[in-house]
Chain A
Amino acid sequence: MVQTEMYVMLAVVLFVLGTLGVLLRRNAILVFMSVELMLNAANLALVAFARQWGNVDGHLFVFFVITVAAAEVAIGLALIVAIFRSKKSINIDELHQLKG
């Protein structure tokens, strides 16, 4: 069997990539993709630990995460469409009107 640590390391790598994408990408859709990457990394870690301990709770939690991620993406994309309609751009650096 493949060791759990491998799965976790993979999950960490994926998470970090996702974080970097969130922080460094300018395109809003790419930011969302990075967020999805982070979520999936978390899912991977959960499933790996569930397989290790033979516990169904991990699998169950993954279901919840996938559902929430889907809902979130729906709403997020709706927001992006709305923003694009007004600003004609989805460069997040141009969305800075709520500043202090």
Chain B
Amino acid sequence: MENYPQLVPLIILIPALGAIINMLVGARLTERWSSLIATTASALSFVIAILLYSYLHASGYQAAIVNPPVLQDWILIESLNINIPWQLRVDTLSVTMMLVITGVGTLIHIYSAGYMHGDPRFSRFFVYLNLFLAFMLILVAGNNFLVLFVGWEGVGLCSWFLIGFWFDKSRGIGWKNANAARKAMIANRVGDFGMLIGIFLTFWTFSTLDFYRPGEIANPHAGEHGAAVEHVEAATVEGETAGEHGDEHGDEHAAGPVYTDNEHIPTEQLGVFGQAERMLALPEGDPGRTVALGPFRADIVAVLGLITFFFLIGVTGKSAQIPLFVWLPDAMAGPTPASALIHAATMVTAGVYLMVRSNVFYAAADLTSLLVTIIGVATALVAGFVALGQWDIKRVLAYSTVSQLGFMVAAVGIGAYGAAMFHLVTHAFFKALLFLGSGSVIHGVEHGHHETHHAAHGDGHAGEADEFDPQDMRNMGGLASRMPVTYITYLIGTLALAGIWPFAGFWSKDEILGDSWVAGLVNNELGGFIALAGLLLAAAFTAFYMWRQVELVFHGRPRTEAAAHAPESSLSMLIPLIVLAVFSVIGGFINLPGNAAIPTLGLDAVLGVHQFGSFLEHSVVNIHAADLQPLIAIVALGLAIGAILMARSIYGLNRGVTADRRDVLEANASFSRMWRLANARLYWDETYRRLFEQPFNRTSQFLADTLDWAFWHDYVHDTIIAKGFRAIGTLLSQPVDLGLIDGVVNGIGRLMRWASGGLREIQTGYVRTYAVSVLLGVVVVLIILLLPYIQRALASGN
């Protein structure tokens, strides 16, 4: 049992292997084998996740740090004391994420086998699904920020693969899919920039990126407040150094000293969170509290504020918050199982996971936490509003996801990390359920359309001017009787999402609202106020647009022939729906709040309260589990039920769509403008186009045409460089070469001729002249010969 953490590398390796197998031989395998390999890989990962959970349960929720075999040191520069190893972490938070990812992932694999039936690139879809699982598990299992970032980028890449999966559909649809994939990648990249800056700052501040080092206890105070049910983590097991496995052999079970906190570890050997806590505990003015940033020294609180701010930028990209959420609605261009897995249950929750993992940072950075709350609430409201006006069944769910992520992010902002994680888990259940259900609906309507179309037009496939959109809710209606299982499960998912008792969403949403009540009205924090007001309104929106969707899709009478002939989906698609529906019903019971004997009908005594919260507490230091706030619970429930009733009265009984295919609210004079604003998605993408894309394009056009071509190429190159060069060449050749050098050379020649002309005159031809020269020569020679004698004669005083 103690060795189960060693399985953590396998949880990543098995899906990766599945991806590789399907990549290499998938095209030659039948659909059944291809999907079987992928689903088995995913299921094995789920089994390993369960084993890890059982390890945690048995060992008192101690964390284990695992070095995978072969890959140990990653970035290791000993002389500079830089050590970022390839390390994985098994603790309650990461195992929670692993269970959700592999559990929902396996169900989606099973669903995809039915959904993607007949697709020419069937096996490639499963390659991408498994690859995504591998990367997402790397993200959550990492023990330092860089391993997390590897997974972060990897899931972004897989998101691009999966959104653009049908990149070659005809009539421009493939192009739109590719654009959507690119949009997701680019928006994520902008977020990644912020994330990287945050990682750099973290490394600069703490000289390490590890969350916790071996031997360190994440939360020494876990389990101290008396919970209603006894937890297994008795105090003696906590803090045993030998229990924090450092290497894969795990044979250090020598009875080492048992520590209950981290006091014995020097600060430099702690992970980032331990170091941050130590620094925060120092008194004001202590130099150990400050961090050197160039020539300045900043207090740790300010630095943490900066780090969390940059992480927030990454979160807005990955978890689709304002301002980078624009990619998620467009991402619905991908196949529905991909939407369910990535954009509902897992990838988008990576941002929330990051923030909960960094709870020590966020708890200390009050300003950034307020900003987080504001962003979360704003996103929840904006997305909730836009969802009211959408016709595409998946778009509604996409905006709903953005809105629910806003809930989670707002919860993190007010410090309710446990509530955020709880909502993450329940949301994974019912949102995946809703997406898979929508996929089932779309499949059914498509089938119906093919049937009726062929019946009317025979087999006229080729030139089909197919204006029929199977995802448009106006083409649906009355599907409750034709697709009963889909209907029931979708209904359960809707009620769970809307926060109706006793479904899962009620408990998790209520915990967030309860925590914001405590933060706002008990502790008087601004973030709490904003969260409470905004999230209550957003919850009302949620219930309203979800019930609108149920009315338009399932109730009433079919509005098209296709809907009238839609069949129920195959079993491989229905079974995951049923499983997820069961979890959407009972999922909330993992974290019942205290003081809730009435709403839980006494179940809280049986199941225990805050089970999930206590489970997470061992990894998340700042879990403040709140008790039920009855007033808020009743208000929220009332708002939800009221919204549902309002939606029923507006959209029910076939009133939803007018004869000319307009929404009934659009036809209504007083709501028309608001509805159209929602339908136009608040012109968000158009605004970005005006604000960013067009100036960017104009700037690059200017740089290319004017600066690069006209100025640099034409002017500088042609005029200055080419002409100048030619001018210099002319200068050098004409006056210098011809004039000067030739002049010198010719001048020497002329000099010679002049000199020789002069000298020639000596040859007069007259004998007498020659005789004179001979005489002169004789005289000179005589003088030279007689010179010494002459000198002697002169010297001796003559």
Contact = CB atoms under 8 A, between A and B. Distances in A.
Interface of A: 19, 22-24, 31, 92-93, 95-100
Interface in B746-782: 760-768, 771-772, 775
Contacts of A99: 763-766
A95 B769 CA distance: 12
A92 B769 CA distance: 11
Contacts, number: 33
Contact of A100 (B761, B767, B771, B775): B761
Given A95-B767, A96-B764, 9 more contacts: A19-B775, A22-B771, A24-B768, A31-B767, A96-B765, A99-B763, A99-B766, A100-B761, A100-B764
Interface residues of B, number: 12
Contacts of A100: 760-765
A4 B762 CA distance: 41
A40 B771 CA distance: 19
Contacts of B771: 22-23
A78 to B, nearest CB: 17
A31 B767 CA distance: 10
B757 to A, nearest CB: 10
A93 B761 contact: no
A97 B767 CA distance: 11
30 contacts: A19-B775, A22-B768, A22-B771, A23-B768, A23-B771, A23-B772, A23-B775, A24-B768, A31-B767, A92-B766, A92-B767, A92-B768, A93-B766, A93-B768, A95-B765, A95-B766, A95-B767, A96-B764, A96-B765, A96-B766, A98-B763, A98-B765, A99-B763, A99-B764, A99-B766, A100-B761, A100-B762, A100-B763, A100-B764, A100-B765
Contacts of B765: 95-100
B759 to A, nearest CB: 8
A100 B764 CA distance: 6
A16 B371 CA distance: 130
Nearest to A92: B767
Contacts of A96: 764-766
A19 B764 CA distance: 20
Contacts of A31: 767
Contacts of B767: 31, 92, 95
B770 to A, nearest CB: 10
A96 B771 CA distance: 14
A24 B765 CA distance: 16
Contacts of A98: 763, 765
A13 to B, nearest CB: 17
B769 to A, nearest CB: 9
A15 B372 CA distance: 132
A98 B766 CA distance: 8
A99 B762 CA distance: 8
A98 B762 CA distance: 11
Contacts of A23: 768, 771-772, 775
